[in-house]
Structure 1
Amino acid sequence: MTAPAPALRTGTAAGRGTLLAAILASGMVFLDSTAVNVALPRLGAELGATVAGLQWTVNGYLLMLAAFVLLGGALGDRFGRRRIFLLGVVWFAVASVLCGLAQGTGALIAARFLQGAGGALLTPGSLSVLQASFHPDDRGKAIGTWSGLSGVSTALGPLLGGWLIDAFSWRWIFFINLPLAVAVLVATMRWVPESRDESVSRTGAGQRRFDLAGTLLGALGLGGLTYALIDAPARGAGSLPVLASALAGVVAAVVFVLVERRRGDTAMLPTALFASRLFSVLNVFTVLVYAALGGFSFFLAVYLQNVVGWSALLTGLATMPLTLLLLVGSARAGALSARIGPRLPLTVGPVVAAAGLLLLRRVGAGASYWTDVLPGVVLFGAGLTLVVAPLTASVLAAVADRFAGVASGFNNAASRVGSLLAVAALPLLVGLSGRGYEQQATLTGAFRGAMLWCVGLLLAGAAMAVLLIHPPAREAPRAQPGQQLPASVPPAERRPRGV
């Protein structure tokens, strides 16, 4: 038996309230993840952190989010998306308080691990609730609105974080999550309907079976590789701890794939998802683009403060064009993709963003915002705007509705893995370690090298879109009444198929 057909409409109070809860929740997660980058120089100085400490402050959160977001999506599909979503909001809020109260780098990193676990519960829920709850005629509009406003919160994070850091303390970038979490809880309990995948198997006396082995293997694989990349500058790439952790990560990743294939539909990551070639291609594309975004975000905030000499607030203001472009352009980019297919936006977007990063490489001490920083930020933001909404809608449309939670969870995991690996690997690749982020000459060379690596990742994504995402066919797939789908994307109600 399947769940009842979604019926929420965007013009109703329940529809608006559900959309509000999803946007505020995802905004809370995205805002916090970007605001932390602005705080890195200040918290690093106050807590005496090395580059590795800063990396783990970012990656402790990303690691848990990437490793367990699949489990969060599966829990929502099976136990109820609304229920798991609420649990994630409470967990995230409590962990945020612990982050704000941390008195040392170790305590902060531990709290960030906990915060990432909470984010893994609520992040897939914010999107899968929309996918499962709204009427097909309004689903595209709801997802487009969510994509645009959630993207705005991502870009707004540095601005709000910079103001909180300068006016109060870096600790307030975590405390600000409390009122947001209260608003999400109220809206969710008042308006969000419960939904689940009723077709999942049950075992024993009504108990549901979960792929804990797959979850732990995925976490071990990511954790081993991340530790090796971050620790290599201090210990040496050939040291026993680095080699052992890298080997453990690779072995765990291989075993993870074998376990998931053997478990079939009971796996945390059902292999049926990859019957759609488009779904596979889009998620590799996601890793590349979000790796570039993660590297850009990590380096730019530290560079503008420690080399250019700006305050945290001015650093946040420097990225405001991202906010405006995402606010104005995301819905339009989604509509364009619905008409012509995702190939063109996903090709042009990374190329435009790469051009922006090349301009930002020229920024140096005493740089002018208007002539040195703004042009690059505008180009990067324009490229990102072309990518975000089409990518999100295309990933969800490439799989069956009953996989909504798992698919959104996997795509979230792909984006976090991209950022995670970039933050772990780029300092190693550009020779930044110890307290080098406090030395202008060292940081300047590292920043410019990192931007070149990010440009390469973006161009690789554009090449993948050109070669592997097919243009629209002559006959578009049949859409639901009033719903328009890209011709290259299989309808969500059908079994996924290759492009």
Structure 2
Amino acid sequence: MKIPKNNEVNRTVLMAVTMASNFLNPLMGAAVNIALPSIGSEFSLDAVSMSWVTMAYLLASAVFLLPMGKIGDMLGRKKIFLFGNIFFTIATLMCAFSSSGYFLISSRLLQGIGSAMMYSTSMAIVISAFPPQERGKVIGLNVSMVYLGLSISPFLGGILTQTFGWRSLFFINAAVSFFIIFAIYFKIKAEWIEAKNEKFDWLGTLIYMPSMTAMMYGFSKLPTTPAILTTILGIAGLIAFVFVEFKNPFPVLNMKLFFENKIFASSNLSAFINYAATFAVSFVLSLYLQYAKHLTPNEAGLVLITQPVLMALVAIFSGRLSDKINPRWLASSGMAISVIGLLMLSYIEQNTSQAFIITALAILGFGFGLFSSPNTNMIMSSVERKFYGVASATVGTMRNTGMVFSMAIAALSVHIFVGQKQINDSNIENFIHSSQVIFLVFTILCIIGVFSSFVGKKLIKN
């Protein structure tokens, strides 16, 4: 096991690289949501197909996070982080040169694999390089960069899409990624290998990946009979995965973390619920603002920027605060505040004022920012050092799985109310009804999350 001494790690460069990486991924992800109408128009995609431009990325990322986290613990977290950035950059260029909707969706899937390599290791690297008393602060800074990316992306995505076309989003992201790759390769010499002598769990991985794919893909295609069967098959596979992992001495996911660590289990469940209840908000409102309110991509971006701005600002302070007081209280309060914002959005109509929507987004952003950093701090502080990679990957898996379920809920509602049609003035009322249902379901999920985030005994700092 190699644990770099403090003087072997340039913490400034390390933080700059991880923060830049955490900034760019959501920057492009949310910007793509703004560009979806333009992408759909160029490739003649219906609303459900447009959702797959986002869901393909999330699905691949969720499926590969756990295996990549384990591989990072075994072979080196910096190594996997570097290769992830390279793979992500290549896939980003493929997106930029897409000639069809299917090629774009396939390229987004490859992007998700690269993202999994990055996200499964970045937080583990940061946690390993800084002392426990600074853990909440560095988590808060990295989380705030995610939200800063989300903050700028609607505005930047709107301007770039309107001025240079949607492909410019991918070109710019790829260009900046080259600098990140350069910094990782030449400036970060340390490596973190915590499980060098362990064997990779091939059986568990081969069960987990297709099972997770089947469950999430099937859920996204409900309510058809094949989708129901696919979902059930995926769930059955994941149950089998749990039993296999219990018997494996070197599991890709240590199930004891869930069954013997109440903090780890409840906080991961809360992360899943929170992302499932909030991620698709920007997707739904982007379509609502452009199709129902007839705003330009730039104007829609200016409205949507409200939520992530509040997230970024609050996440910094909530992360620092979680080093001083029990983060369980902060996380639970944040989830409760999010309920209010989602409930407000469930009442939107075609004539709803922009001020009402901005207020709801501000409340939602404040709540999410108050929840995220403390909840991540709870998870990472509840495990031993050798589990940092797996814990980081588990957090990412809960996040991305929650995102996929969020998009699946949105796509299912749109499918029921609008069908396989492009959204236009003739069916806009149906789309608005679907949006109301989506936000109501999200509200109920967040209410459940309030209770799950409060479960657990007194946090033990490692």
- Could you tell me which runs of 5 or more consecutive residues in structure 2 were left unpaired when the two chains were aligned: none
Equivalent position of 1:4 in the other structure:
3
- Which amino acid is 2:109 matched to? F
Which aligned pairs between 1:393-412 and structure 2 lie closer than 5 A?
A: 393-412=377-396
Residue 491 to residue 3, structure 1, CA distance change in 2 (3 Å): farther
Q: Bigger shift: 425-434 or 340-349?
A: 425-434
Q: Residue by residue, what CA displacement relative to the aligned partner does 1:404-450 show, whole Å, maximum 9, x if unpaired?
A: 11100011000111111121133324624312544311111111110
Equivalent position of 1:434 in the other structure:
420
Equivalent position of 1:292 in the other structure:
277
Aligned counterpart in structure 2 of residue 449 of structure 1, from 420, 434, 437: 437
Distance 1:453 1:418 in 2: 14
Kept in 1, the 8 Å contact 2:45–2:422? The answer is: no
Kept in 1, the 8 Å contact 2:137–2:323? The answer is: no
Which aligned pairs between 1:380-395 and structure 2 lie closer than 5 A?
A: 380-395=364-379
Residue 249 to residue 201, structure 1, CA distance change in 2 (3 Å): same
Distance 1:402 1:243 in 2: 38
Q: Bigger shift: 396-405 or 33-42?
A: 33-42
Equivalent position of 2:79 in the other structure:
83
Which aligned pairs between 1:60-459 and structure 2 lie closer than 5 A?
A: 60-202=56-198, 209-232=199-222, 237-238=224-225, 241-264=226-249, 266-274=250-258, 275-365=260-350, 367-369=352-354, 371-429=355-413, 431-432=416-417, 433-435=419-421, 437-438=423-424, 439-459=427-447
- Could you tell me which runs of 5 or more consecutive residues in structure 1 were left unpaired when the two chains were aligned: 203-208, 471-487, 493-499
- Which amino acid is 2:383 matched to? V
Scaled by the length of structure 1, the TM-score of the pair is 0.86
What is the DSSP-based 3-state SS (H/G/I as helix, E as strand, rest coil) of the residue aligned with 2:350?
coil
Pairwise CA distance, 1:137 = 4.8
Residue 353 to residue 165, structure 1, CA distance change in 2 (3 Å): same
Pairwise CA distance, 1:91 = 0.4
Q: Residue by residue, what CA displacement relative to the aligned partner does 1:295-319 show, whole Å, maximum 9, x if unpaired?
A: 3122111111111111111111112
- Which amino acid is 2:367 matched to? G
Kept in 1, the 8 Å contact 2:17–2:183? The answer is: yes
Kept in 1, the 8 Å contact 2:291–2:423? The answer is: yes
- Which amino acid is 2:191 matched to? S
- Which amino acid is 2:441 matched to? W
Kept in 2, the 8 Å contact 1:394–1:489? The answer is: yes
What is the DSSP-based 3-state SS (H/G/I as helix, E as strand, rest coil) of the residue aligned with 1:96?
helix
Aligned counterpart in structure 2 of residue 29 of structure 1, from 5, 25, 30: 25
Pairwise CA distance, 1:46 = 1.6
What is the DSSP-based 3-state SS (H/G/I as helix, E as strand, rest coil) of the residue aligned with 1:310?
coil
What is the DSSP-based 3-state SS (H/G/I as helix, E as strand, rest coil) of the residue aligned with 2:295?
coil
Q: Residue by residue, what CA displacement relative to the aligned partner does 1:455-493 show, whole Å, maximum 9, x if unpaired?
A: 111111012234x134xxxxxxxxxxxxxxxxx22223x
Scaled by the length of structure 2, the TM-score of the pair is 0.93
Residue 305 to residue 213, structure 1, CA distance change in 2 (3 Å): farther
- Which amino acid is 1:361 matched to? S
Pairwise CA distance, 1:277 = 1.1
| Residue 37 of structure 2 corresponds to residue 41 of structure 1 | yes
Pairwise CA distance, 1:242 = 2.6
Residue 222 to residue 187, structure 1, CA distance change in 2 (3 Å): same
> Share of identical aligned residues, percent?
26
Q: How many residues align?
A: 457
What is the DSSP-based 3-state SS (H/G/I as helix, E as strand, rest coil) of the residue aligned with 1:434?
coil
- Which amino acid is 2:328 matched to? R
Pairwise CA distance, 1:271 = 2.4
Pairwise CA distance, 1:5 = 5.3
Residue 139 to residue 187, structure 1, CA distance change in 2 (3 Å): farther
Pairwise CA distance, 1:247 = 3.2
| Residue 35 of structure 2 corresponds to residue 59 of structure 1 | no
